[in-house]
Amino acid sequence: MKKTKIAMLALFFFSQLQATVTDSIPARMEDVSSVDGIMKAVYDAISGPAGEKRNWDRMRTLFVPDARMIATGKRPNGEVVKRTMSPEEYIANSGPFLESNGFFENEIGRKTEQYGNIVHVFSTYESRKTKKDEKPFMRGINSFQLWNDGKRWWVITILWESETKDNPIPEKYIGNTN
């Protein structure tokens, strides 16, 4: 019983951490005043050369407190899998790799649909270790769900899948396809 209470308290604490951090750091208006702004800010926040610390506080300001980031893929045995995490978990798990190896993710295509205050963006990306790399080491599609609360844009969810030889990106998702 005591372990259950401690686990529940820890879960509550960590779920509130994102809300506290987001509330205490003001967002840059150029990052959250438009769909283009928030899309650029997400890619900018995770990108940078090896050895450079990322501005994770900037990234935190882009997400609602209960946002989710979901990586999907297929294991070598064919099993389709997903990994769901909060932005804080993404920063903790991926941040050290991105900072030590260098990582630049650029948008190479976008398809946007909007209804009222919600927007869905299919954002095709390519990733390089340095800006000078001729060929990307990875490409894929990020599926963003965005919401405008009447004052600014927020990221609700990012769901992504990397391109594979068995699952190439269709041409309709490369280039500006709005």
pLDDT tens digits along 80-130: 999 999 999 999 999 999 999 999 999 999 999 999 999 999 999 999 999
- Enter the pTM of the model: 0.85
Confidence class for position 24, pLDDT limits 50, 70, 90: confident
7-11, 57-61, 97-101, 146-150: which range is least confident on average?
7-11
**Domains: count for the chain:** 1
Q: Give the pLDDT mean for 23-46.
A: 94
pLDDT over 50 (residue 162): yes
Tokens 């940078």 label which residue?
48
Q: Which candidate, 70, 65, 29, 48, places its Cα nearest to that of 157?
A: 70
Task: Output the pLDDT for position 4.
Answer: 46
Instruction: Answer positive or negative: Cα dihedral of 172, 36, 134, 82.
Output: negative
CATH code (residue 133): 3.10.450.50
Torsions phi, psi for 18 (to 5 deg): -60, -45
Tell me what pLDDT residue 23 has: 60
Q: Which domain holds residue 136?
A: 2-176
Please say if the pLDDT value at position 18 is more than 50: no
As a whole number, the mean pLDDT across the chain is: 90
22-31, 60-69, 77-86: least confidently modelled range: 22-31
Q: Which residues contact 173 (CB under 8 A, 6 or more apart)?
A: 109, 111, 122, 124, 141
